[in-house]
Amino acid sequence: MLEKLNEIEKESLASLAAIEDESALETWRVANIGRSSPVMSVFSQMGSLSKEERPLVGQRANQVKVALEKAFAEKQEAVKQAALARSLATEKLDVTLPGRPVRRGRLHPATQNLRRILDILAEMGFQVYTARDVESDEYNFQLLNIPPHHPAREMQDTFYIDTGETDESRKQVLRTHTSPGQIRAMREFSAANPHNPPPIRIALPGMVYRFEQITARSEVQFNQVEGLVVGENITFGDLKGTLSDFVRRMFGQNAKTRFRASYFPFTEPSAEMDVECFVCGGKGCGICKNSGWLEILGCGMVHPDVLQNGGYDPKRYTGFAFGMGPERQLLLRHKITDIRYFWGNDMRFLEQF
């Protein structure tokens, strides 16, 4: 019996040595250390052995079993390593093939930029106030110090609504700027507390409309973001400081600003703010027409008449307002040469943002 065990061990180990793949290994396992393998059947035959033989054979059988199992485990590991080595050697991808496309949703570039502006302003304490698109002549013009036939009306070509209305104030227009929102906001806030209206710091975003032909350089509609600050101690210095802060957030901490005198009927004094060209850093380039400066926004101290029309006593309150065109900033930043791209919604344009 002991000899048989020796033979079993020898043969089994020999056959194991020849094995190279996992399926043969499994077959070997069943045949050599499985339930009905020769070594296992030795255990089942123990009953037929003499008392003396039994411990010797049992011990030897156990040795053989353990030896075979150990050899199997080693072989199994070797086969696995060999298989891994083979697969690593053969499974080689062309990593330059394109990946499977994933669809990405996007916000319109105008929305993205509008949000950026409003986020910065929000951090500076400006609350967003939204107002309507179709306005009365009164709110769009008259309460902002632009009476009928005033020269300033020529600065903004206007779409009028066909209402059959002849009363000048009740005529309806597509708002030519977001400024009527100034009056709406001031009136709303001052109505709640007419003798002591609260200070104001708001941003007014929205689409505005101009009666112009649609060309590469002019559009009938575009976004505007306006800011309005009203308080008891607001100065032109505050206007400059606030807008320069805004510009540094918007265009980088090194962005420089310059203020030029200008005219808007609803501010006095009025100014244009230029930002040092962020394309060339002020050296002069095609975008800034070699001036090193880009016109970014109009601003000024709120006109006393406008404060009054909003229910804020101009003897007590001062304020400043500013307005900018988000799409213009995009044109400059991305060197977009045709403003029609924005509402044209060609996917080839939108997908670049």
Ramachandran angles phi, psi of 183, nearest 5° = -65, -45
* 177 near another protein, rule: CB under 8 A: no
Residue 58 CB partners (closer than 8 Å, separation 6+): 43, 46
Interaction with another protein in 16-35: which residues (CB under 8 A)? Answer: none
Q: Which of 4, 24, 76, 284 binds another protein (CB under 8 A)?
A: 284
Q: Which of 130, 169, 254, 352 binds another protein (CB under 8 A)?
A: 130
Site string for another protein, 231-270 (x = CB under 8 A): xxxxxxxx-xxx-xx------------xxxxxx-x--xxx
By CB under 8 A, the count of residues binding another protein is: 101
CA–CA distance from 113 to each of 230, 325, 344, 353 (Å)? 26, 10, 17, 11
* CA separation for the pair 275, 251 (Å, rounded): 9
Q: Which is nearer to another protein, 81 or 218 (CB)?
A: 218
300 three-state secondary structure: strand
Strand-pair partners of 13: none
Interaction with another protein in 311-350: which residues (CB under 8 A)? Answer: 314-315, 318, 342-348, 350
Name the residue type at position 51: K
Q: Which of 143, 301, 321, 324 binds another protein (CB under 8 A)?
A: 301
* CA separation for the pair 128, 15 (Å, rounded): 82
* 73 near another protein, rule: CB under 8 A: no
Q: Which is nearer to another protein, 58 or 259 (CB)?
A: 259
Q: Which is nearer to another protein, 224 or 318 (CB)?
A: 318
* 271 near another protein, rule: CB under 8 A: yes
* 279 near another protein, rule: CB under 8 A: no
Interaction with another protein in 89-108: which residues (CB under 8 A)? Answer: 97-98, 100-108
Q: How many residues does the chain have?
A: 353
Residue in the block written with tokens 């009164």: 138
Counting Cα atoms < 13 Å in the Cβ hemisphere of 66 gives 6
What tokens does 133 get? 């698109």
Q: Which is nearer to another protein, 2 or 343 (CB)?
A: 343
Strands 257-264 and 267-276: antiparallel
CB 244, min distance to another protein, A: 5
Neighbours of 25 (CB within 10 A): 17
* 211 near another protein, rule: CB under 8 A: yes
* 76 near another protein, rule: CB under 8 A: no
